[in-house]
Amino acid sequence: MTAPLRLRSIDYSILQQCIHCGMCLPTCPTYDATGRERNSPRGRISLMRAIADGDLEISSSFADEMSYCLGCLACQTACPAGVQYGVLFETARSDIQASGVDASPKRRFWKALTLRFLFMRPQALRAAGRLLRLHQRSGFEALSRRVGLTRLLPADLRRLEPQAPAIAPKFSNALIAPVEEPREPARYRVALLTGCVQDLVFPDINRDTADVLLANGCAVETPASQPCCGSLHAHNGELEMAAELARRMIDLIPPDRYDAIITNAGGCGSHLRHYSPLLGEDPRYAERARVWDSKVRDIQEWLVEIGPRQPAASPFDEPATVTYHESCHLVHGQKISRQPRTLLGLLPGITLTELPEASWCCGSAGIYALTQPEQADALLQRKVGHIATTGAALVATANPGCHLQIARGLQSAGSPAQVVHPVTLLARAYRRE
């Protein structure tokens, strides 16, 4: 082992904070699935502590365990003792990454393709998106599947290929001008982050976000080409890459110029507000990172903070029922739970029905659906089952991973329910005024 283990060098009191009381157990989706302590938050922390104490080495079994963890952070919400599980989780994954014990070729393949290549280069990601769209639209996709060409793909790609999200015809930079001013004099000036998946698959949600900001008196600045925020990297133990991406982001969007830096993706937001721990040791960036962290807002949080204007119109001709699924990194990572419901409650003609287990992970969890397909699918079935009991026509959720995952689950269950971002409903309502 070359580098010293981060688990042995982090503040030991973070590990000690866990008093293994077990209050996390009923909230952990993997413990719920197996009933085994190692698959629980306190069990995983006990393994980390054994490693920090030198009683256990980083092994492939430990790597498997940390890959099995969704990183949904439900345990962090449940923990009365205030254990920072997210920090421990990323530290452990970073040690695993550095130690090279994670021998699963499948996980290595996905991490290399996604983390090291695509999500480090916004242009490459958009180019890959265009290629995928070409493939999806050309008829070649259907043809190649019919003649069995897809059988030449590795098994994992083959399983996934038909599930690849439909890439949008135009990305965010084609839909949003670099600077847009509201009709009235601006009350606030904000920067809008367009994300990666959101940019390729749901650029309309970015447009809707800009519209809702404008309708609430915010001037919106949206740099045309933005780096990935580094959330996927940090989540998968690539802390150096995550720090590099954070520096690029701060260079592109100097935080002191804005009242707020707006994100509309739960997974990104949870990471975006924690640049300080990544850059705290970097004298050139530490101060700016601190300011950055204080300015990042989820769009829903920001709207409720500045007082959202109630739309005068309904988003649809007919009344509709909506239910709300909480993205893990919005509710557990950022503790944003009330605000989306407040916004949905403002919509004329829309009735909000609570979703059972609304804050239980849907199984998307970053690239978890790729690395742990069975568990991801089990969680998706559970989520879709609960959605069916609400009878809602719309499922609102504010994270592209959840959005795709749940849409796929609803489709294969034959459900007519549609997935929407809450700001899309707001934007529709403002447009129909």
- Output phi, psi for 215, to 5 deg: -65, -15
Non-local (6+) Cβ contacts of 278 within 8 A are: 230, 234, 239, 242, 243, 246, 289
CB of 99 to another protein, least distance (A): 14
Which lies closer to another protein via its Cβ, residue 19 or residue 124? 19
Which lies closer to another protein via its Cβ, residue 25 or residue 395? 25
Query: In the block, which residue shows the tokens 């367009």?
Result: 194
Residues at the contact surface with another protein, assessed by CB under 8 A: 13, 16-17, 19-23, 25-26, 35-38, 40, 42-44, 46-47, 50, 55-56, 59, 61-62, 65, 79-82
CB of 35 to another protein, least distance (A): 5
Neighbours of 55 (CB within 10 A): 9
CB 258 within 8 A of CB 191: yes
Which lies closer to another protein via its Cβ, residue 14 or residue 320? 14
Which lies closer to another protein via its Cβ, residue 62 or residue 119? 62
For 297, counting Cβ atoms within 10 Å of its Cβ (0-12 exposed, 13-18 middle, 19+ buried), the class is: buried
CB of 25 to another protein, least distance (A): 5
Q: What is the DSSP secondary-structure string of 202-262? A: -HHHHHHHHHHHHHTTEEEE--SS----SHHHHHTT-HHHHHHHHHHHHHHS-GGG-SEEE
CB of 65 to another protein, least distance (A): 6
CB of 381 to another protein, least distance (A): 21
Residue 35 DSSP symbol? -
Q: Which has the closest alpha carbon to 235: 401, 122, 378? A: 401
Which lies closer to another protein via its Cβ, residue 59 or residue 415? 59
CB of 38 to another protein, least distance (A): 5
CB of 84 to another protein, least distance (A): 11
The two three-digit tokens of residue 221, written as one number: 């600045």
Half-sphere exposure of 20 (CA within 13 A, CB side): 12
Which lies closer to another protein via its Cβ, residue 65 or residue 238? 65
Which lies closer to another protein via its Cβ, residue 43 or residue 227? 43
